[in-house]
Amino acid sequence: MTTPPSGPAALAGAVALVTGAAQGIGRAIALALADVGADVAILDLQPAADTMMAIQTRGRRALSIVGSVADREVATAAVARVVKDFGRLDIVVNNAGISERMGLEDLDEKTLDRTFDVTLKGTVIVTQAAYPQLKRHGGAIVNVSSTSAMAGGTISMRADHESEGGRSGPAYAAAKAGVIAFTRWLAKDAGRYGIRVNAVAPGPVETAMTRGYDYSVTTQPIARMGYPEDVAQAVIYLASPMANWVTGQVLVVDGGVVMD
């Protein structure tokens, strides 16, 4: 199986599963997918009623499934529910993740395990659950990594200057680097099924995760924080027919800080 020539970002009739889409970047991705015609299912620890409503106001079907991406039974049941309710699955966006800002010597096992479980293990488990469905007719997987994986952490300071901010932590950087490695491995396996596998690597984006921190963006080529929509539109490119000859790539979305 292969892919047709690249074309416009039309996804009418496609079904997408987006993890961690109750808020932030995941929500923006879900809405952007709906804007180009996709029906969207959400898997998140939190109910995603607001995101669902916004998808439905765009004339698309929406589904919210509450559960952890790191739980194999939850992931398997979520994919089964999507196929049962929507009839198919074409796109998977592994966005769910958590951050930490600890120093190496302060990093406790609970934080290490949780960061890896959600950010890396969850990406693998959800992909495993969805893979048999995607292999039937091809599709796209987009994994959300981070520039922390490429630059050894993103430096910030507390906006109130009352305490240090420091870099994003070692567990976060390592987990997001694992997402990139997994993306490249899977791309080599999935191409024969007409499945494209890519990643986006955002820099600092204005979400709850970065609130209260100053990233000194004035030194960047594009001197502003990212918006969730910046990442969402990059995901649309990789998930849609626009990128039918693109796989195994990491698209950096950070205002020009990392140029690799």
215 is catalytic: no
Distance CA 196, CA 129 (A): 16
| Annotated active-site residue in 131, 168, 176, 213 | 176
204-232: b or e for each residue (b if 16 or more CB lie within 10 Å)?
bbbbebbeebbbebeebeeeebbebebbb
Count of other CB atoms within 10 angstroms of residue 192: 10
148 is catalytic: no
Contact 236, 203 (CB under 8 A): no
Can you give the C-alpha Rg of the chain in angstroms? 18
Strand spans (E) along the chain: 15-19, 39-44, 62-66, 91-94, 139-144, 155-158, 166-167, 195-202, 213-214, 250-253
**What number of residues does the chain have?**
260
| Annotated active-site residue in 148, 168, 172, 213 | 172
| Annotated active-site residue in 145, 146, 156, 240 | 146
Cα-based angle 207, 225, 172 (whole degrees, multiple of 5): 55
110 is catalytic: no
Query: Active-site positions?
Result: 146, 172, 176
